[in-house]
Structure 1
Amino acid sequence: MKKKEVTPKVKRLLSVITGDHSRNELQQILSLKDADHFRKTYLLPAIKTGCLEMTRPDKPKSRLQKYRLTVEG
């Protein structure tokens, strides 16, 4: 299977994940303040490539939502 290409920003995000993290925790680790920019530029592309997954995929807007690496990540 051919590995999907990821952007440098997604690579940066993947490099800091060590378990389950909330969006806010990941933003703080990366020192990013703009939630919308983080979601569009880092989080969604990482999920689309299959490198990152939601801990609650059935409730994407849950306040308890966290993100973790997949086998691909």
Structure 2
Amino acid sequence: MKAVGLSHRPTFRKNYLNPALASGWIEYTQPHSPRSPTQRYRLTSKGKRWLQLRGED
């Protein structure tokens, strides 16, 4: 949320997080516990390729 400058969690989840998860750009670090307080997200290989094509690391 900080990276894109948003602070309203429901809007971030609806407009950014859920579409990125559904498209396969990112994934849960704990897929069996999506509501875990320690849940994080990581780029998938698809997301990493997209960043490389954009010229970012």
Q: With structure 2 as the length reference, what TM-score do the two structures score? A: 0.78
Structure 2, unmatched stretches of 5+, are: 48-57
1:62 aligned residue: 36
| Paired-residue identity, % | 43
Q: Return the index of the structure with the highest Cα Rg.
A: 2
Q: Flag as ranges the 4+ runs of structure 1 deviating above 4 A.
A: none
- The higher-RCO structure (CA 8 Å, 6+ apart) is 1
**In structure 2, distance between residues paired with 1:38 and 1:56:** 20
**In structure 1, distance between residues paired with 2:25 and 2:4:** 17
1:39 aligned residue: 13
Structure 1, unmatched stretches of 5+, are: 1-26
Q: With structure 1 as the length reference, what TM-score do the two structures score? A: 0.62
Partner of 1:42, secondary structure, is: helix
C-alpha distance after superposition, 1:36-61 (max 9, x if no partner): 00001000000000110000010000
What's the C-alpha RMSD, in Å, of the aligned pairs?
A: 0.6
